């Protein structure tokens, strides 16, 4: 499938490529790339995002039927483009502490151990991955005027330099300029920048055209002597100092966002709030599903982790417990049992609470999960929680599809769109079950299809589905919240919030970056 074009009335005044690398993980690379993409798109530049290799469990289904990292899907939205596999040609999805599923051009190829990526035996993988990366990059160059590229981690990870395709290894092959961003909120920002530069080769150092300092709070004049020293010492400009942006709500690449939800929630009486818990197991995936709940003013939202559970008082007060997606369903189910969460879940149901399972969480609620081929980890079969009449078999073929249809709950219905991304195929073990989702058309096909998905338990306490993104649609989200016990309060529109936040980010970049110098670097 050819890549989509975003047709603009304004002629492109900028062409080329720019790579954003960081001194550390979470320095702000993804956010800076998203903001630049939106800023350039608003200025009439035909721009596309690119990340050669990503490691993340939050992913999105693309227009061409593959999957890419969630951050690149957000960056595509910033460019006003549908997500495409060429925006992130290599995606690694960790399934254990040492292994990860390899996804190239949107399709899962195999699961490899860490040594196959980074150790002496990695040459074959890196040759294959680099070829895929350069194929995608060349296609983007042909169809877009500007490609904004995101690195991964830090270019100064010297133990990973051999055969690197994510940072300077790619920049050298692609011959593109690089800027480096550092997070001053972590402390030691000048040491981070100088140290990173010092660990690069002479040709890589020459490729670095400037620095960006991120998440600054306070009086900028107090930072100026350090900026002057840095520029004199490195002979490279500081292109801007970006302020700390409070309450910036954008899709997370991987890390859980545990900042407080909408502050209005704390001011409301408990009778006007819904308490929602999301269980966090080691291989939780696509937790961006829950951003619309986390930001809802009438929802008291909590992630429950192994660390937080020991002192947690939220379990007895929960109205809804959510089992999210998982990259290793059987291992995460075993983890739940080790924590005693299965017992707490059943106690919650016994006292009338509601439970929602999504994708891997749906599979866990069933009777059996069979992985005969070791698709996600070690081959074997696990007994499920036994709360829904389904059995699941994990297969080589992976479902990757964008869907839309109608959600029916309590004699009401609402339209939705979303996506499915799973290896398991689930079968009903009873015929008298309610399947609430009617998927009426695959967004990638021209002929309408009809498929029922999900399940509502006979006692109306459990709702489960394979579809991600249900909460993103206000009507469907509101219907689910009413089922859960929160009546007469409208759901928020996360898509509208995302647009507002991307434009806010672009405004900040325009105000705080030296755009003339930056455009000169690109051109």
Q: Give the residue numbers annotated as catalytic, written as ranges.
A: 359, 468
Query: Closest Cα to residue 443, out of 404, 476, 415?
Result: 404
- Cα–Cα dist 370/53, whole Å: 31
Query: Closest Cα to residue 181, out of 44, 36, 53?
Result: 36
Give the count of beta carbons closer than 10 Å to the beta carbon of residue 514: 15
For the stretch 458-461, contacts whose Cβ atoms lie closer than 8 Å and that sit 24 or more positions apart, written own/partner, are 458/432, 458/433, 458/434, 460/410, 461/349, 461/352, 461/353, 461/354, 461/355
Residue 405 DSSP SS3 = strand
* Site of tokens 């004699």: 411
- Cα–Cα dist 407/452, whole Å: 10
- Cα–Cα dist 139/126, whole Å: 20
- Cα–Cα dist 185/404, whole Å: 41
Which conformational region is residue 190 in: left (phi greater than 0), alpha (psi within -120 to 50 degrees), or beta? Answer: alpha
Which H helix or E strand runs over 243? strand 238-243
Structure tokens at 114: 């860490």
């Amino acid at each position: 499938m050819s890549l989509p074009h975003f047709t603009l009335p304004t002629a492109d005044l900028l062409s080329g490529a720019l790579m954003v690398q960081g001194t550390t993980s979470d320095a702000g690379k993804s956010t800076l790339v998203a903001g630049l993409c939106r800023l350039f798109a608003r200025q009439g530049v035909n721009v596309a995002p690119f990340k050669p290799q990503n490691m993340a469990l939050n992913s999105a289904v693309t227009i061409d039927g593959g999957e890419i990292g969630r951050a690149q899907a957000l960056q595509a939205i910033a460019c006003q483009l549908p997500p495409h596999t060429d925006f992130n040609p290599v995606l690694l999805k960790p399934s254990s502490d040492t292994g990860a599923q390899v996804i190239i051009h949107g399709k899962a190829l195999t699961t490899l151990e860490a040594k196959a990526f980074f150790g002496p035996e990695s040459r074959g993988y890196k040759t294959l991955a680099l070829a895929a990366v350069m194929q995608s990059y060349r296609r983007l160059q042909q169809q877009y005027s500007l490609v904004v590229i995101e690195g991964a981690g830090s270019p100064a990870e010297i133990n990973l330099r051999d055969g690197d395709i994510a940072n300077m290894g790619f920049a050298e092959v692609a011959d593109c300029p690089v800027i480096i961003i550092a997070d001053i909120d972590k402390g030691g920002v000048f040491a981070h920048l100088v140290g990173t530069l010092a660990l690069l080769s002479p040709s890589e150092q020459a490729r670095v055209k400037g620095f960006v300092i991120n998440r600054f709070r306070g009086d900028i004049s107090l930072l100026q002597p350090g900026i002057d020293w840095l520029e004199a010492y490195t002979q490279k400009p500081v292109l801007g100092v970006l302020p700390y942006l409070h309450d910036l709500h954008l899709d997370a690449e991987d890390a859980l966002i545990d900042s407080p939800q909408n502050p209005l929630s704390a001011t409301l009486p408990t009778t006007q709030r819904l308490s929602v818990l999301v269980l966090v197991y080691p291989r939780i995936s696509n937790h961006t599903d829950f951003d619309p709940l986390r930001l809802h003013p009438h929802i008291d939202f909590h992630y429950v982790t192994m660390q937080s559970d020991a002192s947690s008082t939220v379990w007895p007060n929960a109205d809804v417990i959510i089992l999210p997606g998982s990259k290793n369903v059987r291992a995460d189910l075993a983890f739940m049992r080790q924590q005693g969460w299965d017992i707490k879940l059943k106690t919650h149901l016994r006292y009338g609470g509601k439970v929602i399972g999504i994708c891997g969480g749906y599979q866990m609620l069933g009777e059996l999960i069979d992985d005969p081929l070791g698709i996600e980890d070690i081959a074997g079969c696990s007994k499920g929680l036994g709360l829904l009449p389904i059995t699941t078999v994990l297969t080589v073929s992976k479902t990757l599809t964008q869907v839309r249809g109608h959600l029916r709950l309590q004699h009401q219905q609402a339209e939705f769109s979303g996506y499915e991304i799973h290896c398991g195929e689930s079968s009903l073990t009873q015929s008298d079950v309610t399947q609430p989702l009617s998927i009426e058309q695959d967004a990638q096909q021209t002929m309408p299809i009809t498929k029922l998905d999900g399940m509502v338990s006979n006692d109306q306490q459990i709702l489960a589905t394979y579809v991600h993104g249900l909460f993103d649609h206000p009507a469907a989200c509101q219907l689910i919240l009413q089922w859960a016990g929160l009546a007469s309060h409208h759901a928020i529109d996360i898509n509208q919030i995302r647009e507002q936040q991307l434009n806010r980010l672009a405004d900040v970049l325009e105000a705080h970056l030296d755009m003339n110098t930056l455009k000169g670097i690109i051109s």
